Amino acid sequence: MVPVPTRRLRRPKVKGCYECSQRRINCDRTEPSCQKCIHKGISCSGLGVRYRFNHGVASRGKLAGKNITGERLQMNLFFCCVFLHSLLIFHRADPVPKSPCTDARVMEFEPDILCPSNFLDPLGPWNRYLVTYFRLIKSATEWDLVSEHIAPAMVAIDDESNGYRAIILPVAEWHRPVLNAVLASSTYHIALKLSSQTEALQQAQIFYIQAIDELMQLSSNVNTEPTQTSRILTTVVMLVCAMITGSSDFPILYKMLEHSIQASNTQTRRGKLAFDSFVELQMRKFELYAGPFLDPKVAINRFNDTESIDRGLGCLLQCSQLHPEYSVVLERASRLIHIACLIYSLRVRNDLSPGKSRQLVEQYRQTISQYHHESPGWKILIWPTFIVAAGTVDHAHRSFFTSIFHDFFKKTGFGNLRTALNILKSIWQDSTSANWAEALPQWKSFIM
């Protein structure tokens, strides 16, 4: 009888640490670090779960090597992020920090909480970088900010109440027109810093055209409250974009903003929201500063009324209330703006004598010389400095203001400051510069 061979019992395959498997040796499975790795002097990864990452969304099949692209996939990812956001809030031990914007309809979630760095982002890495560039968080510390980028440059004092960050950017997460306006602003601002601007300018123009097209579509849509919100905020950001580029689109965009706000005011809104407060303060500021670049008659009517000027400076009053430690500095800035309004009004009425002009300009020069470039409120002096500089006849004053505008540009990087210098040089070289106030609208630029 032939003996039946005994079947060899199959020993279950036991996995060791990753380092031993790479060296093709048996791991002794000691935890937390195996002895073979310790004797070899290398770091042992242990026996926990190991993850393998692929290029693309799959390693085999129809989706092998493919990336997540397309509008449909982006929307699916967006709703996945919303779902993950709800799970994060549910399982989070610490409460989610509240946003400065209290309107739940305008901002339902914080973008940083919505798409953490370890989750898929529906905006994609480059667009997310541009959005972050717009608001600029310098480090992981909340509100540790500098002023060289866009959102901080639009306010006197940058803090958590900055609506360009706290209101506009959360809306940009789910309203494409606002997002494209933000992307255009950031890309144009980056292009101004590059030695080779061609590629960045082309991408910025694409974002800008898309924002304009979508803005026109919003204008033809039913005037619902979400449409109003998107239309107003898109136009506000497009005005910022016009300041960054120094383009001549400013008059048209300003009229569009006026019409959007008028249409919004005809609708019944529920309560005084943070969105309404932000838009109201920005519009009053734009009305005050835009007047000389649009219509001298409208501007002089506003400048002759001290209360009208103070309403336009509502943002300064808000900053003084939030930061009483800076109230003296902000009050000084307010006085400088009143001096600029007085010079402009006297110039339009032809009541500004050379002696009176030199006196007011020297008073302005001495006051602004007390400011340091890092002082709160430094950036809001761009408009009054331009108005005062336009009326100077003294060469020493002109050299002083030219230097000031170079400092402004280094601080903000906005292209309208280069345009401002070109306008000033043209006014100074023109023998008929006495009529400079009436000639400002022909430049179609917004210096602020």
For 126-144, the pLDDT digits (tens) are: 777 777 778 764 443 333 3
Which pLDDT score, from 0 to 100, does residue 40 have?
Answer: 83
- Cβ atoms of 445 and 248 within 8 Å: the answer is yes
* Exposure b/e, 33-44, CB count within 10 A at least 16 = b: bbebbeeeeeeb
Residues facing residue 56 across a β-bridge: 64
Q: Dihedral sign, CA of 192, 147, 310, 346?
A: negative
Q: Tell whether the model's pLDDT for residue 447 goes beyond 70.
A: yes
The pLDDT tens digits of the residues spanning 49-105 come to 554 444 454 555 655 655 544 333 333 433 433 333 333 333 333 332 233 333 332
**Over 70: is that where the pLDDT of 396 sits?**
yes
Please enumerate in sequence order all residues whose Cβ is within 8 A of that of 296, keeping only pairs 6 or more positions apart, or say none. Answer: 348, 437, 438, 440, 441
**Three-class SS state of 87:** helix
Q: Which of 220, 214, 295, 226 is nearest to 254 (CA)?
A: 295
CA distances to 23, 44, 138, 166, 294 from 152, rounded to whole Å, are 54, 47, 12, 11, 26
The separation between CA 43 and the C-alpha centre of its own chain, rounded to angstroms, equals 44
- The pTM (predicted TM-score) of the whole model is 0.69
